[in-house]
Amino acid sequence: CQIHRALGVIDFWFMAGGKRIHKTVHHFVFKETGGRITPQISEVDDVRWFPLEEIVTRLAYPDERKLIARSQELLS
């Protein structure tokens, strides 16, 4: 795959091992160019391609759904 464009940034706090951790996640729109994608095992359990219309139904957080809505606008 190749990066098409930056989409946005989400930052959040969570607890792990009794510590409060701040995480910043940069999101990008990618173009599939063939080949095989594999997860970074230490961070991700699974990785897959989905049709853009289907992604929003798979997201758990409102901030992520906003980014997907933005990507739909950018790609239409």
Render pLDDT for 42-76 as a digit per residue (tens, 0 to 9).
888 888 888 888 888 888 889 988 888 888 787 77
The confidence score (pLDDT) of residue 20 equals 98
Distance CA 25, CA 32 (A): 21
Distance CA 76, CA 58 (A): 21
Q: Does residue 38 or residue 15 have the better pLDDT?
A: 15
Mention every residue, 6+ apart, whose C-beta is less than 8 A from residue 57.
none
The confidence score (pLDDT) of residue 19 equals 97
Residue numbers of the domain that contains 68: 2-75
Half-sphere exposure of 70 (CA within 13 A, CB side): 14
> pTM score > 0.85 for this model?
no
Give me the chain's average pLDDT, please: 86
Structural domains of the chain, count: 1
